[in-house]
A = this chain, B = another copy of it.
Amino acid sequence: MRGPSKIATITGSPFNLPAWAELTVRQQKMPLVSRMDRMRFVIRLAMENVERGTGGPFGAAVFEAKKGTLVSIGVNIVTIANCSHCHAEMVALANAQKELKNFDLGAPGFPEHELVTSCEPCAMCYGAIPWSGVRILVCGARCEDAEAIGFDEGPKPKAWARALEVRGISVAQNVCRKEAVSVLQEYKKRGGMIYNPRQTKNTRRYRKPEP
């Protein structure tokens, strides 16, 4: 079964992954045929990212939609990569394009690709989805679940899912939401860093991670 040829670890590219990721992928039976199994896999990635302290409580992966073959994974590595673009979805999409040597996952000759993410995308990841070439977006936790622990989802259009559908990208929401939310809560419990938000009236203050 074809899988990512190599999980690149953190040195070099900002989209390379923490060292633990390779083993996690190797231990996962593939392909993942059901949508819920794919979601549970990215939730596991998110939880491992929290437990290992390598970033925010978010995981994502790109699959061949029909067969469930894993193409790439991503976790939030903003802090260790020193790059604010490195949200889980961005990392997964960039690595899928690297794996397939094409900036368009919807290029002629490719099977349909699906982005599975443990939480609905922020404004940046949302804007990146139409350019990536994926045809399906599958989300676990809701925006408001991320906001409930202090993250900021950014200035996203209200009817964001509809705007993707218009572009031929189907959107599934609330897949294993409860399990996805539990990762966010675990992160909060551990005092994880809520980064980025600025000190303006509509956003929140930096919160330093507890030691």
| Pairs A–B under 8 Å by Cβ, sample size 12 | A81-B103, A83-B97, A84-B103, A84-B132, A84-B133, A122-B131, A124-B128, A131-B196, A133-B198, A155-B160, A157-B157, A168-B198
* Stoichiometry, copies per complex: 2
> What's the tally of chain A residues with a CB closer than 8 Å to chain B?
51
Residues in A lying within 8 Å of B, measured CB to CB: 12-15, 78-79, 81-86, 90, 93-94, 97-98, 101-104, 106, 122-128, 130-133, 152, 154-157, 160, 163-164, 166-168, 195-196, 198-200, 202-203
In the complex, the 6 A-B pairs of residues with the closest C-beta atoms, listed nearest first: A123-B127, A124-B127, A155-B163, A84-B131, A168-B200, A124-B128
Nearest CB on B from A153, distance (A)? 9
On chain B, the residues within 8 Å of A163 by CB distance are: 155
Q: Would you call B82 and A130 a contact (CB within 8 A)?
A: no
